[in-house]
Structure 1
Amino acid sequence: MSYFLLSQIFVTIAILFDFLSLQYKARKKTYLCLIISASLICVHYFLLGNLAAGTLVALTVIRFIVCYYTTNKGFLLLFMLLNVVSIFLTYQSAIDLIIFTGSMIFMIGNFQKNNKLMRILMMIGTSLYLSYNIIIASPMAVVLEGLFLVSNFIGYYRHYVKIRLETQGGEPFS
């Protein structure tokens, strides 16, 4: 079995956990699913030989474990510094900067106490991850990030827009 095919299998499994993660409003359930998903995605990038992406996502797994327990902004600064060092040490091409930027935005979202803001920042970061996966031609990673984005939109709608509509009445985006 080729490394490419194996990488696509890992991402396919990660899709389930990614989609589930943002259907929970409870922070710990969200992060438990993200820990599993990011671990699989990390392996995927290393199998494809994308050292920068694999390293950034390995740091993401550790960050998700920390976020499971705290939103302490001191950890945000630590992980931002680790990401900068990581990209400096593993940089191979300009496209690495896309996933680096997405990771930084995603990271800022992870340390928000406000679940609504966390989701918005995660949508922006996910859009950059989606772009990166299109460029590196990883079809299942494109599906994964696309579904993660859709899941985030659905979760955001269910937890914030729909609730506002039900309590205040009116149009979703008025």
Structure 2
Amino acid sequence: MKTVFVTVGTTSFDELIEAIISPAAVEVLKDRGYERLVLQVGRGTVFPTSKTCSHITLETFRYKDSIAEDIKNAHLIISHAGAGSCLEALSAGKPLLVVVNDKLMNNHQLELAKQLHSDSHLLYCTCSTLTATLRTMNLSILQPFLLGQPQNFANFLDKALGVK
């Protein structure tokens, strides 16, 4: 079953969860051949059920000891722009669409998403542009994220966060 896995990490990002279960987003996912939506909602207050989103197979959970199996089984990962979540998805070699929380102040997540996008490793959008991005995304342009260069990633994060 062609699966989309959505993760917000350990945070709360209700706006992303609401955006991905909207009728318009679900319709686009179905049109693109996705049949299953797995949501990791973290501390959020939005906890969709199959009644909330009846046109696609839906699984929802808050936390697991590991989301490695969910990532492995996904055909597309949609994630908040946390560095850990991005790195885990990219390291698994999965197509990644990052949704930046544009309501965060001093948004280092946007800087990370822009850099990884400019390197062709992922696509990114905001909650307000999620459906349009899903409709027009071309996953074939994405390039693999090369493993084994953790210092380069750490250096980028230091620079983005103003540490160095």
TM-score normalized by the length of structure 1:
0.31
Name the one with the larger helix percent. Answer: 1
Larger radius of gyration: 1
